[in-house]
A and B are shown apart, each in its own frame.
Chain A
Amino acid sequence: MNEGRDSFIPNPVLAGLVGICPLIAVSKSLAEASVYGLGAALCAFALGALAPPLRTVIADRLQVPALLTLSSALALIYGLCARVYSPVIAAGLWIYLPLLAVSGLSLSTLRRSASPGRFGPDGQSRLGAVSMEALMFLFSAAFVGAARELIGLGTLTMPAPGMALPRIVLADFAPLRILVSPAGGFILLGFVIAAYRAIARVGGRKLP
C-alpha cells in the first residue's frame, strides 16, 4: 500500500492568490512579466534561505524591520541588475521592481520562515517548498504575460538584454486590446483561476 504523502503543491498565484494585483499591473507583456516573475522568485528564494538563520541571531523585536530591510536590499539589488540587463524592461516595470520587497511571495516567505525547524508540519523542507512556489510564480507570471500580450496584441516580446527587445509578430492586428489594460488583466486572471480550479477539481486535488 502506498503511504507516501501527496506531493501536490498548489500554485501560489492561481490557488493561493499570492501577489496577483501587482502581477496584473506588470504582466502586459511576456518580457516584463518574466523579469518581474524572476525577481519575485529570486527574492523569495533568497529570503527563504537567509531568513531562518537570521531569525536565530536577531532579537525578536528587531526581526520584522531587519527582515524587511533584507527584503528591500534584495529587491534593490535585483532592480539594479534588471536595469543593467535591460533598461527598457526596467523602465517599464517602474515602481514594481522596488515593490518586490513587499510582494505577496516575499511576505508569505517571511511568514513561513517564522516557524522554527527546517521542515513544515507536512514533512516537506521549507526551502524546498519556497523554491517550488517561487518557480511556479515565475511560470505563472510568464504564462499570464504571454497570454495577455498574445491575445491582446498578437505579439510576443522576448526578454532580452539591451535597448531593443525582439518581438514576434503573430497577428497584424490587435485581437483583443483590452487584455493589455489592467481591467483586461483582472478579467483574464479570473478566468485562468477558474480554469485552474476546474482542472484541479477534476484531478481530485484540494485547493486552499
Chain B
Amino acid sequence: MSYIGVVVTSVFVSNALLTYGLGSVPGRGRERPGSLASALALTCVNALASFFLWAVHTLVLYPLGLGALDILFFTLLAVPLLKFLSRAASVPGGGLLSRVGAQADDLIVGSLVFGVALIASRGGYTLPEGLVASSAAGLGYWLVSSLLESIRERLELSDVPGPFKGAPAMLISTGLMALAFSGVDAAFVKGLTG
C-alpha cells in the first residue's frame, strides 16, 4: 500500500480509538484535544514510540525468538527516554515546543502510545510504513477526539435524560461515529491510493 493509503487507513479505516479502542473517550483524560500542540504531541510521541518498539522487536528480539518480551524492553528503555525527551522539551516559556512537551509527558504512559507502537511493530509494517502509520494514528486519534469534544460541548447544552448524561451519551456518540468511519472500506482505500 502507498504511504497515502497507509495514512488514510490509519486515520479512518483503522482508527486508534474507534477500531482498536486505544486511548480514552474525550472528557475524561487530561489532554485537551483540538489544539495544535495536542496534535503534534500525539504524532511525535506515537512515531518515536513506534520507532523504538519496531527496532527492539524486529531487529533484536524477534531474531532471537524473544518477540513476546518487547513490551518489557519497551517499558524499560523507551518509556524513560520518551519521558526525558518530553520533560526536556517542556521548559517554561518554551512556546509551542514547551506545550508539546507537556502534552507528550501526559500521553506516554497510556494505552494509546503502547497500543499504536505494538501495532506498528507486530502489524507487519516496514519501519517507514510503521512510522507513517503510527504518526497518522496519532492524527486520527486527535481528529476523533476533537470531533467528540465538540459533540460533548453540544450535549452539555442539550436536554439529555439523567442516566445518559456524560459518559453514556459520549459512548453512544462515539459508537455512532465509529459506525460512520466504518463506511470507509480498506479495499476501497487501497484501490484508490494504490
Contacts and interface: CB of A to CB of B under 8 A. Distances in A.
Interface in A50-85: 64-65, 68-69, 71-73, 75-76, 79-80
A63 to B, nearest CB: 12
B70 A183 contact: no
Contacts, number: 130
B21 A80 contact: no
Contacts of A168: none
Interface string A166-189: 000000000000100111111111
Q: Looking at chain B's contact residues, is the secondary structure mostly helix, strand, loop, or mixed?
A: helix
A22 interface: yes
Contact of B176 (A20, A94, A181, A187): A187
Contacts of A102: 109-111, 114
Interface residues of B, number: 44
A81 B114 CA distance: 21
Size class of the A contact interface (CB-based, 8 Å): 35 or more
A75 B179 CA distance: 31
Interface of B: 17-25, 28, 68-72, 74-76, 79-80, 109-111, 114-115, 118-119, 122, 161-164, 167-172, 174-176, 178-179, 182
Interface stretch (A41-49, A135-143, A153-161, A193-201): A193-201
A183 B79 contact: no
Contacts of A195: 163
Q: Looking at chain A's contact residues, is the secondary structure mostly helix, strand, loop, or mixed?
A: helix
A190 interface: yes
A193 B168 contact: yes
A73 B72 CA distance: 6
